[in-house]
Structure 1
Amino acid sequence: MPLPQLFLDKMRELLREEYEAFAASYDEEKAQGLRVNPLKASVQEFVRIAPFALSGVPWASEGFYYGKEDRPGKHPYHEAGLIYIQEPSAMAVGALVNPLPGETVLDLCAAPGGKTTHLAGRMNGEGLLVANEPHPARAKILSQNVERMGVRNAVVTNEMPDRLAERFSVFFDRILVDAPCSGEGMFRKDPDACAEWSPDHVTMCASRQLDILESAARMLKPGGRLVYSTCTFSPEENEGTISRFAELHPEFALEDAQAYEGFDRGRADWTSDAAPGIGETLRLWPHRIRGDGHYAAVLRKMDGEEQPVRRKYPKSLTDRKALKDYFAFAEETLTDTPAGEFTLFGDQLYLLPSGMLTLDQLKVVRPGWHLGTLKKNRFEPSHALALSLKGEEVRNRLSLHADSPQTFAYLKGEALQAEGPKGWHLVEVDGYSLGWGKLAEGTLKNHFPKGLRWPG
């Protein structure tokens, strides 16, 4: 698809002597990247077993470029959640947020989940991660990716930012606003973004971004970190949005965002009334690095006392009788019974992350770690539970190799022949959890979700 002429004219004016190199980048193959999931495997461990041609992404320790002949998204390791396919420039954002285990973290515009799962990996299962996406269909995809990556400590919500701000006032240690934008940096891979572009669309996005940042400001604790990012080149949506926000919120200060070779800095001369420190923000250009376009700013909330806020926490399900089938399953199948604050959504059983506030009157897609379904006189474990477990956490498992015909048969939903005790078995690929099977009389009934099964 040809690029909009008004866009090209604008970029020519901004980039001047760099414009020809920028324009030529659209004729080059886009960089392909994947990110290792440390909840499943260490980087060193994955590099040792990876059947792909990998080279490191400098700005993300978990990130790698892969060869154009590779298809990691069609490999069993992808289904096992060892990797997330992510555009390399986008990996810089999660690295800037850099959450610590035990913190409270919000990804405010989170779908499809690349940055959310990056944050989750760095949190190492400790603390609370709230991933929000206002669009219902995209929120469902976000939830599926949280599940695939084996994240236990995340809640997925489907709310507008101002609604979340009412519930989570002065609550989070770190917030990521990967804002909806005009998508200029994605033109190489997203024809829809190219077709939707117009100067009016840029103006609309900039206004919406400021509204989202207003909500984020209300939810961040004093001393907390706010990272703002877009995948556009537009100064109105980047330096302009941040400068307007900083003017409205003197309690926030821009911090130096770590730059790597090829990174550019924000341009004070591209917006009126540029905020102090706008030159500490980052611009990633496709003609300077192996990646698409991105912008990122890091802000610290310097002032503001933590006002006493009345928090309402969820009521835990403590009825052992209601949970007896779950505990029976856990006793029979797991080496250690997951326990904590239980909640039921219909017949679906979840464990709430520690510190989560009440979910009442919020649109919630995933209220925590999905354990399974309470059916009449039995408990059926979820796919999310399987993907978040390690082999030593179950009593029975069936170990397969990535290149085994049995692995592909399992991913297609076929039953397998196996020996072992009757009951639930965790199916693994090269030692990494892939899903459930239930063994009886030498046949393992396949419980890999029907919607995820590979074509026969």
Structure 2
Amino acid sequence: MGERSGEDGLLAQAEIAPLTGLAESLGIDRSKWIQVATKPLPETLRLTMHHYDIEWTRKQLIAMGAVPLKWSIGNEAYQLPFARGQAPRDGTRELLALLHDTGRVTRQEAASMLPILVLNPQPNELLLDLCAAPGSKATHAAERMAPTGVVVANEPISGRVNMLASNRGRLSLHNVMITQHDGRHVGRIPKPGFDAIVADVPCTGSATSRKNKDVWWSWSPKGGRTMFQLQVDIASRGAQLLRPGGTMVYSTCSIDPVENEAVIAELIQKCPWMEVIEIDESNVDGLVWHQGLTAWSPLDEQGKVSERPQDVPFFDERYLPPSDGAILNALSKTRRLYPQDNNTGGFFVALLR
């Protein structure tokens, strides 16, 4: 394994990491992948929609060199001219912290804005976020739905519930209710159910290499296979809680098809009342992304395509591409985002009804 210190150590590890093998197996150019996926993310943020001095805040951001993320339709979002967490110490760092702490902006990775942009929740709706902490997606939805829409932000882990409550308070959001349940066992509400659900499930983070360098050393192909059942179970619970005609977004910060397309294939077989629907591209106009996969191959622990899929650790037939043509057609409606597409992290989203 490569040394973890310095850029040379990172690049050396990227050359041999199973994560690079995963990217290659998906048809991503190896050199482009390593070039972009080893670089720090730019600082990005959302401008709070209903803050009383939004004009002043916007001027401060533009003065810092902020550039609008034009594909963030319905929410002003910006990319700043420095790496995440590396604001200059000329007053910029202090001002940016002040803007965030006072609820004028929310620092958020650009890719993680996608679930709410895709779901497009509306006022007067009731939305459930199954795995809400630290709260960037729940608060994003709440701002768009205010003042008449309500977000139920659920988080099972006590320490993360505190972060969720802090972010709700930081933004002075009165339409967010916080609950603490295992996402697989969230209780029912009176019929007809939730209008919209966010299932941004726990994952291996294989698409987070630009903000979490440890992924280059820690990620292995068996990780997604160990997460699969948890992801299916959380998404299935969401499907059970959704009202007829309601919409649910499933998302991960992983590019592993076992955590993404394979989960969606299993979900629509397990919950036959659910269907994958087309994403309205006008909600993210200008974003470069890719259709979901309909073919992929299991990898061994070195990140190589295995000649005998049944021999990889924790193998299950459900991790393979489905043979049903209708399901394959549904998977093509999902979307993948790669780091080199828009100078972001990677992401996966699927919209279901």
TM-score class, shorter-chain normalisation, is 0.7 to 0.9
User: Which ranges of structure 1 fall in alignment gaps of 5 or more residues?
Assistant: 301-456
What does 1:151-170 correspond to in 2, within 5 Å? 151-167=173-189, 170=192
Structure 1 Cα separation of the partners of residues 40 and 213 of structure 2: 15
What SS does structure 2 have at the residue aligned with 1:242? helix
Structure 2 Cα separation of the partners of residues 55 and 168 of structure 1: 44
Letter in 2 for 1:279: S
What does 1:188-203 correspond to in 2, within 5 Å? 188-203=210-225
Structure 1 Cα separation of the partners of residues 148 and 242 of structure 2: 19
| 1:262 maps to 2:288 | yes
Cα deviation, 1:201-258, whole Å, max 9, x if unaligned, reads: 2111111100001110111000000000100000001111111111222211111124
Kindly indicate whether the alpha-carbon contact (under 8 Å) linking 1:178 and 1:228 is maintained by their aligned counterparts in 2.
Answer: yes
Kindly indicate whether the alpha-carbon contact (under 8 Å) linking 2:39 and 2:210 is maintained by their aligned counterparts in 1.
Answer: no
Partner residue of 2:231 out of 209, 214, 227: 209
Q: CA deviation at 1:193?
A: 4.4
Kindly indicate whether the alpha-carbon contact (under 8 Å) linking 2:18 and 2:219 is maintained by their aligned counterparts in 1.
Answer: no
What SS does structure 2 have at the residue aligned with 1:20? helix
Q: CA deviation at 1:52?
A: 2.3
Alpha-carbon spacing, 1:19–1:165, altered in 2? closer, same or farther (3 Å): farther
- Residue 145 of structure 1 corresponds to 167
Structure 1 Cα separation of the partners of residues 170 and 190 of structure 2: 27
Alpha-carbon spacing, 1:203–1:43, altered in 2? closer, same or farther (3 Å): farther
TM normalised by structure 2 equals: 0.79
Kindly indicate whether the alpha-carbon contact (under 8 Å) linking 2:227 and 2:259 is maintained by their aligned counterparts in 1.
Answer: yes
Structure 2 Cα separation of the partners of residues 27 and 248 of structure 1: 38
- Residue 154 of structure 2 corresponds to 132
- Residue 12 of structure 1 corresponds to 24
Alpha-carbon spacing, 1:83–1:241, altered in 2? closer, same or farther (3 Å): same
Alpha-carbon spacing, 1:59–1:73, altered in 2? closer, same or farther (3 Å): farther
Q: CA deviation at 1:85?
A: 0.3
Structure that is richer in helix per residue: 2
- Residue 252 of structure 1 corresponds to 274
Partner residue of 1:287 out of 337, 340, 347: 340
Q: CA deviation at 1:138?
A: 1.0
Structure 2 Cα separation of the partners of residues 37 and 126 of structure 1: 17
Letter in 2 for 1:80: T
Deviates more, 1:94-103 or 1:223-232: 94-103
Structure 2 Cα separation of the partners of residues 72 and 290 of structure 1: 25
Q: CA deviation at 1:290?
A: 1.7
Structure 2 Cα separation of the partners of residues 193 and 39 of structure 1: 37
Alpha-carbon spacing, 1:74–1:48, altered in 2? closer, same or farther (3 Å): closer
Question: In angstroms, what is the RMSD of aligned CA positions?
Answer: 2.1
Q: CA deviation at 1:117?
A: 0.9
Aligned-pair identity (%): 28
Alpha-carbon spacing, 1:276–1:170, altered in 2? closer, same or farther (3 Å): farther
What does 1:272-283 correspond to in 2, within 5 Å? 272-273=321-322, 274-283=327-336
Kindly indicate whether the alpha-carbon contact (under 8 Å) linking 1:35 and 1:85 is maintained by their aligned counterparts in 2.
Answer: yes
Structure 2 Cα separation of the partners of residues 289 and 35 of structure 1: 17
Cα deviation, 1:99-139, whole Å, max 9, x if unaligned, reads: 11111001111111111111011012222210011111111
Letter in 2 for 1:210: V
Partner residue of 2:34 out of 15, 23, 30: 23
Q: CA deviation at 1:73?
A: 7.1
Structure 1 Cα separation of the partners of residues 55 and 347 of structure 2: 28
Alpha-carbon spacing, 1:47–1:196, altered in 2? closer, same or farther (3 Å): same
Cα deviation, 1:150-184, whole Å, max 9, x if unaligned, reads: 11011111210233134567521000001100101
Alpha-carbon spacing, 1:211–1:292, altered in 2? closer, same or farther (3 Å): same
Cα deviation, 1:357-410, whole Å, max 9, x if unaligned, reads: xxxxxxxxxxxxxxxxxxxxxxxxxxxxxxxxxxxxxxxxxxxxxxxxxxxxxx
- Residue 69 of structure 2 corresponds to 57
What SS does structure 2 have at the residue aligned with 1:122? helix
Structure 1 Cα separation of the partners of residues 217 and 166 of structure 2: 28
| 1:228 maps to 2:250 | yes
What SS does structure 1 have at the residue aligned with 2:248? strand
Alpha-carbon spacing, 1:185–1:15, altered in 2? closer, same or farther (3 Å): same
Structure 1 Cα separation of the partners of residues 203 and 115 of structure 2: 15
Structure 2 Cα separation of the partners of residues 246 and 113 of structure 1: 27
What does 1:45-444 correspond to in 2, within 5 Å? 46-50=57-61, 51-60=63-72, 61-68=75-82, 69=88, 70-71=92-93, 74-167=96-189, 170-259=192-281, 260-270=286-296, 271-273=320-322, 274-300=327-353
Tell me which structure has the larger Cα radius of gyration: 1
What SS does structure 2 have at the residue aligned with 1:59? coil
Structure 1 Cα separation of the partners of residues 49 and 79 of structure 2: 17
What SS does structure 1 have at the residue aligned with 2:341? coil
Structure 2 Cα separation of the partners of residues 297 and 189 of structure 1: 23
Deviates more, 1:65-74 or 1:19-28: 65-74
User: Which ranges of structure 2 fall in alignment gaps of 5 or more residues?
Assistant: 5-12, 83-87, 297-319
Structure that is richer in strand per residue: 1
Alpha-carbon spacing, 1:44–1:256, altered in 2? closer, same or farther (3 Å): farther
What SS does structure 1 have at the residue aligned with 2:348? strand
